[in-house]
Every structure is written in structure tokens, then in C-alpha cells.
Structure 1
Amino acid sequence: MDILKPLTTRLTAHPKLLISALSIAAPIAYLSYLHHTLSKTTTHVRSSGPLTREAVADISSVPASVLGGGYKMVRDKAWKRVPKEEMPEKGGEEMVKLYLRETMGLFARRFPQAYLLRVVAPGGARTFEKEYIGGCVFGVGEVVAGVYRVARREGSEKSGVVEFEMVMGKEKREGAPEGRLVVGGREVEGEWEWWSETVMWVEEGGAMPLEKRGVE
């Protein structure tokens, strides 16, 4: 497992890059738990507005049924770059898989909302276990940490991306936000750029949890 050391050392030194997005993308009770805790070494942007195809053109798993102008959205993205020579000699798709195994594992083992999700998540407690996450390939349909189901996966030698949908189960209340969690990496100018992004949407007239808290 020594091959993972450069990757996990650099990327999990600031695991909140992904974990903050995981918290925002979790069911409504956990949406903003870590919103203000992104590492200072990452770049972070947030935007909002009508949910249209143009606004989410780079996230192909967003359902066409919500793109007609009747929904509003919030996008929250963080990213950082790591020197290429500090990354293992793996293709983009493989490195994204290793990154997700490590950071999803940290989320499932260390953070309070993960323990709560074990109880209510339709995906089952097994999907939080170290052995389960360590064996995930993040193929379409695979569920991780109870509520994150892979909706899209793409990869090449120089890039990789996974889009997760939230599996809320029958208990999802009317008017609650829906969304996508997107995690990816790509080679850029001799470095590897890693990003995580949350896109949430709700029908016009509904309220986003982050809006209620006055988050900028």
C-alpha cells in the first residue's frame, strides 16, 4: 500500500476539501455542519441562481425534469493543486478511485453526522464499513456511506470524475433540497488539480438550509 502514501499524505492532510462537500450534500439535518471548515489551502467559490442546463452543463447526471426553470440552485466548489511528481504513477480514473476510498473512509469513520446517517440511511450500515469502502470501484449504481449513489463515472489517463446522487429514501420530506456531489481530478500544467463540488436545488419558493443560516 506504499503507493498510496504520496496521494493520501497530500490530499488527506486537508480532508475537509471533500468532507465539507459531503456534509453539505447529506440529508437536510446535516447540510451545513462543516460548511465553514474548508481548509485555507484550498480555493473555494460559491454561486447561486436558477437551475438551468447552462448552469450545470458540466454535470450531466442532473435530471432533465428539474431544468425547466422552476428550481433554484446553490453550487459550492473547492479545489487545490498538487505537484504531479508527488502523485503515484496511476491514471486519472484510478487516482480518483483511491482518493474517494481514502476521503470517504475518513468521513465514515470520524465525523458525527456519519454515525447518524448509519441509522437513517437507506443504503445500510454496511456501506460505512472500512472493508466495504476499501473495495469500492465507484461504478454507476454503487452506494457509499449510505446515501451517496454513483450516478456517473468517467476517466482517462489524465483525468477522472465521479458524480453522486443522494439516495434519500421514503422518509425524504416534501420540499427538501436534492443535489449532486461531484469529485474529480485532472492533470493541469504539470500539476494535479483536485476538486469537490456540491450542487443543490429546490423548487422556487423553497428554502435552502445554507440560505436559512445566512451563509455567504
Structure 2
Amino acid sequence: MPSIFLTVSALLTGSSAIYLYYFHQKLASRISHHTHYGTPPSPTATSITSIPKSVYTEEYYTVYDHASRPVARRLLPSMDPEELFTQFARRNMSTFARFPQSWTIWMITPFAQRNTFKASHIHSLDFKEGDIVCGLYRVATRTASSIEFEFMPPSPAQGRLVLSYREKDANMVFSSETAMWRKKEDKVPMPLERSVLKYLHEMAAWWLVDSGVRYLMDLEVDRPAVE
């Protein structure tokens, strides 16, 4: 019996690994993405404005991850772009709140902030500066086209999570960026430096961007007229 159990477990584990690999590859084919390791890129190399200036020095080591997906404007509802973006952010953050990693965050979040995981809380937000989502993410900067979340204690790393959009030709491009940094003298790896966590982060971030765009496409409101 133990040998059968081990065999079945091995088959299930192997099947899961194969499924995750192909799922990751499928997402990669639909998402534009890149990652930067090492010396922080210049402030003009990213759209993130709230990273402290002191981070852009040789003292720091960073991991920067970017994922985006374009969608034809005619496929989206005829809503103001800023409202579409707010809908995108509400949907993605409330979905993230149900992910396994969010349960881990929930366990270390002070009791008074656990309501920030609730969908009713997230869907009530316009993501103004100071708003908190999922315990650890506080809005540091908000513009019409971007939301920059800073990581709050007890986050295991300093960093930013940024959702944004831009209009390009006849498309809207929705993006998700994650930046983490540490002093080079600090040898404790950040989550995105660990291969398994980086892999899981990519799948989560890429899927949220991809499914978030499809969510907007499926909203039951008017579409722009097609000429």
C-alpha cells in the first residue's frame, strides 16, 4: 500500500509540474514581459515614481518585473479610460485576495487590517493615497493612469506593486510591475530572487493581467461604435 501511495503521489506531482509548465508557457505567449536583476535601472527606465531616490545607487540590488497586455479599444466598453482602469484594479486586487499567497499574508496581518482582504472593501476603493489592500499594500501614489502600492511591514521585502495603463494607437495597454530592493550587504534573498517564488509570481501576475483584460472585455455595458 505505501508503494502505491508513493507512486500515485509521484504521478500527481509530476502531472501538476507539467501542467504548471505549459500554463506558464501559454501565459508567456500572450503577455509582454521582462525582468531586470542587479543595479537599479535609472528612474526613467520604469514608470514607477515613488521609489526612494536612495535606491538608485550602487548600494542596492533590485529585481524588477514587468508584464503587460494590449487590447483594442473597440473591444472594451465605452467608459472613460480612468474608470476602466479602476475597474481593472478592483477586479485584480480582489481576485489576488483569494490567492494562496494572500492567505499567508492574511495570517501575519494585524487583526484590524484583515477587512482589507474583503471584496466589499476592495470594490469600494478608488485607490486614493493611503488606502490599504490585502494588509500589506498601501497606495503610495495615484494618478489617472497608475496606482503605486508600497509594501508595508511585516512584508519580507521593500518594494512596489504598480498597476497602470496607457493608450497606444487604437489600443489600451494594461500593465503590472513589481520592484523589490535590498542593500547589497544584506545577503538574505528577496522573494523574487528565489526561483520557485519568482515562477509562481510570474504565473500570478501574468494571469491577473491577462484575465483582467478579459474581464473588462466581458463587462455588460456599451461598446464603442465600430466605423
Aligned identity (percent) is 32
Which position in structure 2 is the counterpart of 1:182? Answer: 162
Q: Deviations over 1:71-114 (max 9, x none)?
A: 011111111111101112223322221101111111112x1121
1:122-141 → structure 2 map (5 Å cutoff): 122=110, 124-141=113-130
Cα 1:75–1:92 change in 2 (3 A) is same
Is contact 2:151-2:158 (8 Å) kept?
yes
Alignment of 1:208 with 2:208, yes or no, is: no
Q: Which amino acid aligns with 2:77?
A: P
Q: How does 1:1-216 map to 2 (within 5 A)?
A: 37=24, 39-40=27-28, 41-51=30-40, 53-54=42-43, 58-109=47-98, 111-122=99-110, 124-155=113-144, 160-169=145-154, 176-205=156-185, 206=187, 207-213=189-195
Letter of the 2:152 partner, please give it.
V
The amino acid of 1:42's aligned partner reads I
TM-score, normalisation: structure 1: 0.71
Q: How many residues align?
A: 171
Larger relative helix fraction: 2
| Contact 2:39–2:57 (CA under 8 A) maintained in structure 1 | no
1:138-195, Cα deviation, whole Å (9 max, x unpaired):
001100111110011111xxxx1111101124xx5xxx53111111111111011111
In structure 2, the residue matched to 1:22 is none
* Contact 1:163–1:182 (8 Å) recurs in 2: yes
Runs of 4+ in 1 over 4 A off after TM superposition: none
RMSD: 2.3
Q: Which runs of 5+ in 1 are unaligned?
A: 1-35
* Higher alpha-carbon Rg: 2
Structure-2 separation of matches of 1:94 and 1:151? 19
Under a length normalisation based on structure 2, what TM-score does the superposition of the two structures give? 0.68
Separation in structure 1 between the aligned mates of residue 97 and residue 116 of structure 2, nearest angstrom: 9
Distance 1:117 1:37, change over 3 A: farther
